[in-house]
Amino acid sequence: MAGWKKNMMKVLTISVWCAIGAGAVVLFNAAMQEKNHQVCKGYEIEITGAEDQLFMDKKKIEELLFGKEQPLNKPVVEFNLRSLEKKLKTNVWVKDAQLFFDNNEKLQIQVREREPIARIFTTGGNSFYIDSSGMRLPLSETQAAHLLVFTDFPVEKGKMKPADSLLMRQMVGMSAFINKSVFWSAQIQQIEITSNRTFEMVPLVGNHLVVFGNADQLEEKFNRLYIFYKEVMSKTGFDHYKKLDVQYDGQVVATRKAAALSKQDSILAVQKVKQLIAEAQQLQPDTLMQASVKPLEKLDVSEQTLANYDLLPVKSDTGLAETPRNPGPLKTFIGKDSTQNTSKKPVNKEEKKKEEKPKAEMQKRGF
Domain ranges of the chain: 43-113, 116-256, 261-311
Q: Give the three-state DSSP class for 344.
A: coil
Pick the CATH number of 43-113 from 3.30.310.50, 3.10.20.310, 3.40.190.10, 3.30.70.1230: 3.10.20.310
Flag whether pLDDT at 304 surpasses 70: no
The amino acid occupying position 116 is: P
- Tell me the average pLDDT across 148-154: 95
Please name the helix (run of DSSP H) or strand (run of DSSP E) that holds residue 64, with its range, or none. helix 58-66
Q: What is the pLDDT of residue 107?
A: 93
pLDDT band of 25, cuts 50, 70, 90: low
pTM of the full predicted structure? 0.61
Question: Predicted confidence band at 282 (pLDDT cuts at 50, 70, 90)?
Answer: low
Taking residues 249-255, what's their average pLDDT? Answer: 90
The CATH superfamily label for domain 116-256 reads Cell division protein FtsQ/DivIB (3.40.50.11690)
Contacts by 70-76, CB closer than 8 A, 24 or more apart:
71/40, 71/43, 71/107, 72/40, 72/41, 72/42, 73/39, 73/40, 73/41, 74/39, 74/40, 75/36, 75/37, 75/38, 75/39, 75/40, 76/35, 76/38, 76/39, 76/40, 76/101, 76/105
Across 34-68, b (16+ Cβ under 10 Å) vs e yields eeeeeebeebebebebeeeebbbeeebbeebbeee
Q: Is the pLDDT of residue 170 over 90?
A: yes
Using the predicted structure, report yes or no on whether residue 27 has a pLDDT greater than 90.
no
Q: Does 297 score more than 70 pLDDT?
A: no
pLDDT at residue number 28: 62
Asked whether the predicted pLDDT for residue 133 surpasses 80, the reply is yes
CA distances from 322 to 191, 276, 315, 327, 361 (A): 20, 39, 12, 11, 52
- Mean pLDDT check: name the lowest of 132-146, 170-184, 260-274, 326-340: 326-340
Q: Kindly report which listed range (8-17, 227-236, 264-273) carries the lowest average pLDDT score.
A: 264-273
Q: Look over the chain and give the mean of its residue pLDDT values, rounded to a whole number.
A: 74
High-pLDDT (> 90) share of the chain, % = 36
Query: What does the radius of gyration of the chain's CA atoms come to, in whole angstroms?
Result: 38
Same fold? 43-113, 116-256: no
Return the pLDDT at 21.
75
Lowest mean pLDDT among 166-175, 251-260, 339-348: 339-348
Q: What confidence category does residue 345 fall into, taking pLDDT thresholds of 50, 70 and 90?
A: very low
User: What is the average pLDDT across 118-134?
Assistant: 93
pLDDT band at 57 (very low <50, low <70, confident <90, very high): confident
**pLDDT value at residue 260:** 52
pLDDT > 70? residue 73: yes
How buried is residue 343: exposed, middle or buried, by Cβ count under 10 Å (0-12/13-18/19+)? exposed
